[in-house]
Structure 1
Amino acid sequence: MSEPEPSAEKAQAPAEPSQAPADASAAPAPPSGSENPTQAKAGTTLHQLAGIQIKGRAPKTGYERSLFGSGWKDPDRNGCDARNDMLRRDLKGIEAKPGTNGCVITSGVLADPFTGKRIDFVRGQGTSTKVQIDHVVALSDAWQKGAQKMTEEQRVAFANDPLNLLAVDGPSNASKGDSDAATWLPPNKPFRCSYVARQTAVKAKHGLWMTKSEHEGIKRILTSQCPKQAIPAG
């Protein structure tokens, strides 16, 4: 989750038996539609999930938002900060403030992935926060799963990585907080496959780990709903 701007701009699978059954042919077949991540097709999130390390959550001690940079940066150096880049990417019918080279988005329409609802975005005091930029893998969650070992430059890159950013409904973003997939999923069920795929891709890209319950939760969604879910581009 990303913190609202202060101004108007505002699962690892159960352990396998140590030995195979005496008659391997008698072993039960996996449920229809399910796949083992270690046997999943390359290019799928299930395959990528198999490479994510599983460890316990590290202490949150020492975490501060500022460790991931102060405010939004311009990672692609196009003159626009990451927040406005994401508004431009994710909203339709956008309008920009004159004289800003299209960098300050003043209005647009969001088809919110978290709720499935339409949100009319208007920049201004009391309205900007209706649409927030979510860190799909929350900064605090990242801190507890490997980001403590990152350099400052790597953490700033993580916090502004478009792969890890989505324009979403503000109240839903607040509800998510710094939860991972074991404790929070978007209310919009059809989006859950894309959501966990993006979380997995972000953690793989930045070398972060998952807890066992998080890994299991993601695997459960993928195997039951979308075993062929492709790895997100980015």
Structure 2
Amino acid sequence: MWHKGRTFLLPLLGVIITLLAATGCESIGQVTPAPGSPSRAQLERLLAAVPTVPKRPRPGGYDRGCGTGQGCVFGPAWTDDHDGPGGHDGCDSRNTVLARQLGAVRVRPADGCVVVSGVLNDPYTGRRIAFDRSDAKAVQIDHVYPLAAAWDLGASGWPPPVRVRFANDVDFNLLAVDGKTNEDKGDRTPGDWLPPARATHCFYAGKYLTAANRYGLPVTAADRDALRRVARGCP
């Protein structure tokens, strides 16, 4: 169940959000955590606040498509029509994320919204990736806490507006990342997927747990164990 106003977590979430907003993933090594990553203590506090379930249930009913006869359970992809961060600002959530994360951003003059080029310091691989709208798949927008996993772990019981907000939450759950890495991740969670660059694990764990806390979502026992291991490697 989604819990509105998890006020006891707000001070901690504020700290994590500030850290996650920091840039500097360029030229990341394989051991030293990326700049802006949360500390071990911060991750452990976030992990302690998240409920744990034995394993991911499979209730069925997940249908992301919004065509005729489809469920559209998280609303149209990248819609601006939501009450979360960046909602109703005239720019879809995909382009909002690109504009936030990319450096040297160029937008389409006609609308001042559509990102046509830029450079991404990828938070999953640590590489610099040139983005051009003509090859949009090179940089994709990841739902850090995957939509299908969220559906299975509680979002199926949320009101539709909350699901739409979650799917387009540019502060808590959306991240511009390397396209191939995003495709490899799919709807996997930390128990069986971590970013390929070890140095980015602390950042990813913080982002995942912040989204989980924000929306009252649990982690599985396998997720918890993987995130604990990640936390032990953070400063």
Identity value in percent: 41
Alpha-carbon contact 1:108-1:120 (below 8 Å) kept = yes
Residue of structure 1 equivalent to 2:52: 54
Q: Counterpart of 1:195?
A: 204
**Structure 1 counterpart SS, 2:52:** coil
Structure 1 position 84, deviation (Å): 0.4
- The answer as to 2:77 corresponding to 1:68 is no
Query: Following the alignment from structure 1 to structure 2, what is the Cα–Cα distance between the partners of residues 85 and 119?
Result: 18
Q: Which runs of 4+ in 1 moved over 3 A?
A: none
1:105 aligns with 2:104: no
* TM-score normalized by the length of structure 2: 0.75
AA aligned to 1:69 is G
- In terms of Rg, which structure is larger? 1
CA distance in 1, matches of 2:196, 2:128: 14
- Paired residue for 1:121? 131
Structure-to-structure mapping, 1:71-110, within 5 angstroms: 71-74=77-80, 75=84, 76=86, 77-100=88-111, 102-110=112-120
Offset of 1:180 from its aligned partner? 0.3
Q: 1:144, CA displacement in angstroms? A: 1.1
Partner in structure 1 of residue 195 of structure 2: 186
8 Å contact from structure 1 (residues 45, 201) kept in 2: no
**1:60 CA drift (Å):** 4.6
Counterpart position of 1:152: 160
- CA drift of 1:45 comes to 2.3
Q: After superposition, give the CA deviation of every residue in 1:39-65 in whole Å (9 maximum; x if it has no partner).
A: x96xx2211211211113121511111
Q: TM-score, normalised by structure 1?
A: 0.75
- 2:124 alignment partner, SS class: coil
CA RMSD, 1 decimal? 1.3
SS at 1:183 equivalent:
coil
Tell me the number of residue pairs that the alignment of Structure 1 and Structure 2 aligns: 182
Q: Deviations over 1:110-134 (max 9, x none)?
A: 111111111111102xx01110000
In 2, are the aligned partners of 1:54 and 1:211 still within 8 Å (CA)? yes
The DSSP-based 3-state class of the residue aligned with 2:49 is: coil
Q: How much does 1:167 deviate?
A: 0.4
Cα distance, 1:140 vs structure 2: 0.5
- Distance in 2, matches of 1:81 and 1:116, equals 26
In the alignment, the residues of structure 1 paired with residue 162 and residue 89 of structure 2 have an alpha-carbon distance, to the nearest angstrom, of: 19
